[in-house]
Amino acid sequence: MTDTTEPFYLPIADEVAVFEAAYAARLPVLLKGPTGCGKTRFVEHMAWRLQGPAHALTTVACHEDLTATDLVGRYLLSGDETVWMDGPLTRAVRAGGICYLDEIVEARKDTTVIIHALTDHRRVLPVDKTAEMIEAHPDFLLVISYNPGYQSVLKDLKPSTRQRFVSIEFDYPNLEAEAAIVAREAGIDDDTAMRLARIGAKTRNLRDRGFEDGVSTRLLVYAGQLITQGIGPRRACEAALVQAISDDPDLQAAVADIVDVLFP
């Protein structure tokens, strides 16, 4: 991936310094936090920052049918022969760069095992199908994320996996920071951005009333982008926020009210 511009990220605390230190020591990093609070953007930003515009960032969104094979690679038919095809993780291990496994706990259990050897001092990826032990490139770094909020007890990270990572915790930014992010990302004026940020903060007050994560910064940016495209603010929030957070009609009504009273 080659970005010409640095991905925008507004640091909230010392996460940039911690990540830089972890990268310098090649320690794997675990990002914890609710959905849409900027974990993925943070990784993109750090990849750019640490490895420059020509950085190689591999992002894998994990889902519940993602197997080790999907990460490591498989044989494919090509002409008359089967050829080995590296998976995204293997490619990153060989070439160097940051490999980011998003929502790792969603993946099947066998995936967490293959990253064990990569995440301790050995830094190797065993590929049993090709009988290879791939030594990680010096610039390789594994980053995983997970959202402790909505994962069930069954889908928790095992301590043996969790303890291999440097953990950085994320949460939604404070009002001013969030307004700045929304203004910048959605290209809207500061006033509207502040209103959206306020909606975010108010609806997060209802977090334990039925939606685990509240309105994410990402959703606020979406709403802002809809507004930029000429949709009325209330309709934009209805589409981007109210419908997205919950199916409960009461909650939707409450959030719609909050939106309604905050916009002129």
Partner 1 sequence: MTLSLADVQVPLALFAEGIVGHPVMFEVLDDAEATWPWLPTDPARSVVTLPASLLVDDYRALVLHQLIALEDRAAGVEHERPLVPDHIDAALFAFVFATVEDARVDAVTRQRYPGAVRHLDTVLTAARRDLDSTGSAMLDGLHRYSLGDAAVEVSSAVREAVDAAARFDATAVDSHASAVALCELLQAGGPVAGDWNDELLHDVDDALALGDDGRGASLDPTATPTQVELSETAGGGQSAADMPPSGTTQGDNERDPIGGLQLPTFGGRGAGVDRRTFVYDEWDYRYSTHRRAWCRVIEEELDGDDHDFISDVRSRHMALRSQLRRTFAQLRPEDLVRVYRRIDGSELDIDGVIEAVVDRRTGAPADDRVHVRRDRAARDVATAFLVDLSASTSSPAVPPEPPEPLDPATIDPLDDPLSYAPMYPEPGERGEPERRVIDVAKDAVALMSDALHELGDLHAIYGFSGKGRDQVEFKIARDFDDRVSPRSWASIAAMKPLQYTRMGPAVRHATTKLSAQPARTRLLIVVSDGYPQDVDYGEDARDRDYGVHDTARALSDAADAGIDTFCITIDPAGHDYLRQMCAPDRYLVIDDVESLPEELARVYLRLSAR
- Shortest distance (Å) from residue 88 CB to partner 1: 14
CB nearer to partner 1: give 116 or 234: 234
CB nearer to partner 1: give 67 or 225: 67
Q: How far apart are CA 31 and CA 98, in angstroms?
A: 14
Angstrom CA distances, 165 to 101, 122, 149, 264, stand at 13, 14, 19, 47
Length of the chain: 264
CB nearer to partner 1: give 8 or 75: 75
CB nearer to partner 1: give 111 or 161: 111
- Shortest distance (Å) from residue 11 CB to partner 1: 25
- Shortest distance (Å) from residue 262 CB to partner 1: 6
CB nearer to partner 1: give 30 or 115: 115
- Shortest distance (Å) from residue 263 CB to partner 1: 5
- Shortest distance (Å) from residue 105 CB to partner 1: 14
CB nearer to partner 1: give 190 or 257: 257
Contact 63, 105 (CB under 8 A): no
- Shortest distance (Å) from residue 77 CB to partner 1: 6
Which residues bind to partner 1, rule: CB under 8 A? Answer: 65, 67-70, 74-75, 77, 79-80, 82, 152-154, 202-203, 205-206, 209-210, 234, 249-251, 253-255, 257-264
- Shortest distance (Å) from residue 187 CB to partner 1: 22
CB nearer to partner 1: give 40 or 217: 217
Q: How far apart are CA 174 and CA 116, in angstroms?
A: 35
CA dihedral 157, 205, 14, 112 (to 10 degrees): 10
